[in-house]
């Protein structure tokens, strides 16, 4: 039953929960971690890891997209980032990492003011495809209509339409809005779209024909959306609500399954496990992999919200480095804070609670538990 909390005489709100506020309950059975599968499949593409890397310049370059693909995950390249604005953005990425904190936002806005070069879109996609891994890219809803032809012509495998919040019914009196249903219908590639955070919004996105829906507002560690816009929905509740929409849409559509991808607010292996336990098929993470020595941000992390020309809703955050991409994903770990061997930890969580694959693990019992620091 939904728990309504009275905020004042004129307003009530539903009690919602963050990932920090829940815990997973072991069952009567345990398993060998080596016998646990964490693979998932979206459309025709199978991945050994339920990890989609957040399309941020501080984490995803063509080189890291290829390496993540080889390690079993998926890393969409941001086509509105530096890799499509500059022939060689390496010096600028080094500059971004060296900026003084007080001047970072203004300088990021200047660097990202350079126009997107359409010919670079095809070149970056071809570079990733040539390696043999699944090629995925991201555009915002605002730029999808303008650049999607170049993306499709280059032979992309998976198309991600990602914004702070994306709806199937965007209303604008200034320009023709993106018709998601028509757009997705006309494409021959699976589309992942989001973010959203409610049952109703997710159901509408699923009805557009999307193969996957992003839950959350992304960029958890570098986001200031709650401070700037006041928009926030705790992730445990948001994922559970969208998972319910997935179930109901399956009934409505005669069995069509839309993948739920938790996006943002997951900094540790425990967060990833709890997101999947709440109903996610995979997670989109940025900050854990921004700590990799190969990350283009050189230990710093920022998303597209950090350099918005009019209303920045993010910031550049310093994380430092802890190890290679392979160590962060597959171990071994040299720390006890959940920042390394993320997939080994997920397997152990599933084994400890008695589940052998992702779909089974979504049925694990959860409890509301006090936050411990």
Q: Which residues of 183-217 are buried (b: 16+ CB within 10 A; e: fewer)?
A: bbeeeebbbbbbbbbbbebbbbbbbbbbbbbbbbb
Give bridge partners of residue 139 from the DSSP assignment.
161
- Look up tokens 């693990």; give the residue: 361
Strand ranges (DSSP E) for the chain? Answer: 4-8, 11-14, 22-24, 40-42, 45-47, 51-53, 77-78, 136-139, 158-162, 191-196, 212-215, 259-263, 282-285, 300-301, 317-318, 366-368
* CB within 8 Å of 11: residues ≥ 6 apart: none
Residue 97's H or E segment, with its range, is: helix 90-98
Chain segment 203-246, per-residue pLDDT in tens? 999 999 999 999 987 555 445 556 666 666 789 999 999 999 99
Between helix 199-206 and helix 235-253 the angle, nearest 10°, is: 40
- The three-point CA angle 88-94-95 to 5° equals 100
pLDDT of residue 328: 97
Residue 55 Cα to chain centre, angstroms: 8
Per-residue tokens: 108: 């990021």
pTM above 0.85, yes or no: yes
pLDDT of residue 165: 59
Per-residue tokens: 131: 């390696």
The rounded distance, in Å, linking the Cα atoms of 149 and 143 is: 11
Chain segment 164-175, per-residue pLDDT in tens? 656 555 434 445
Answer for the pair 116, 142: CB distance below 8 angstroms, yes or no: no
pLDDT tens, per residue, the chain with 373 residues: 557 888 898 999 888 999 999 999 998 888 888 899 999 999 999 999 999 999 999 999 999 999 999 999 999 999 999 999 999 999 999 998 888 888 888 999 999 999 999 999 999 999 999 999 999 999 988 888 899 999 999 999 999 999 865 655 543 444 556 678 888 888 889 999 988 989 999 999 999 999 999 998 755 544 555 666 666 678 999 999 999 999 999 999 999 999 999 998 899 999 999 999 999 999 999 999 999 999 999 999 988 776 676 666 678 889 999 999 999 999 999 888 999 999 999 999 999 999 999 999 999 999 998 777 6
- Residue 73 three-state SS: coil
pLDDT of residue 222: 46
Give bridge partners of residue 23 from the DSSP assignment.
367
The rounded distance, in Å, linking the Cα atoms of 183 and 19 is: 34
């Amino acid at each position: 039953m939904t728990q309504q909390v009275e905020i004042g005489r004129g307003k009530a709100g539903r009690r919602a929960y963050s990932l920090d506020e829940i815990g997973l309950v072991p069952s009567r059975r345990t398993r060998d971690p080596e016998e646990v599968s964490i693979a998932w499949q979206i459309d025709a593409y199978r991945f050994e890891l339920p990890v989609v890397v957040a399309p941020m310049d501080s984490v995803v370059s063509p080189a890291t997209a290829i390496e993540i693909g080889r390690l079993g995950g998926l890393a969409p390249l941001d086509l509105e980032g530096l890799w499509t604005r500059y022939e060689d953005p390496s010096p600028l990425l080094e500059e971004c990492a060296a900026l003084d904190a007080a001047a970072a936002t203004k300088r990021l806005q200047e660097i990202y003011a350079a126009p997107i070069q359409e010919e670079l879109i095809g070149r970056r996609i071809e570079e990733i495809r040539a390696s043999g891994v699944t090629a995925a890219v991201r555009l915002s809803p605002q730029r999808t209509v303008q650049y999607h032809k170049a993306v499709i012509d280059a032979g992309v495998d998976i198309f991600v339409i990602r914004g702070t919040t994306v709806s199937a019914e965007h209303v604008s009196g200034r320009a023709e809005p993106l018709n998601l249903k028509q757009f997705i219908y006309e494409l021959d590639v699976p589309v992942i779209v989001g973010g959203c955070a409610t049952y109703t919004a997710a159901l509408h996105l699923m009805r557009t024909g999307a193969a996957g829906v992003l839950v959350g507002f992304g960029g958890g560690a570098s986001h200031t959306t709650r401070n700037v816009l006041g928009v926030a929905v705790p992730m445990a509740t948001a994922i559970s609500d969208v998972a319910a929409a997935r179930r109901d849409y399956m009934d409505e559509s005669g069995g069509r399954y839309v993948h739920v991808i938790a996006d943002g607010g997951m900094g540790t292996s425990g967060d990833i496990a709890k997101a999947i336990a709440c109903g996610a098929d995979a997670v989109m993470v940025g900050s854990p992999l921004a700590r990799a020595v190969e990350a283009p941000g050189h230990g710093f992390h920022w998303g597209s919200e950090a350099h918005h020309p009019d209303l920045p809703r993010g910031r550049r955050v310093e994380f430092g480095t802890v190890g290679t991409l392979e160590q962060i994903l597959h171990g071994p770990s040299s720390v006890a804070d959940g920042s390394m061997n993320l997939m080994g930890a997920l397997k152990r969580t599933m084994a400890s609670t008695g589940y052998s694959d992702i779909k089974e693990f979504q049925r694990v019992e959860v409890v509301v538990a006090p936050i411990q620091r």
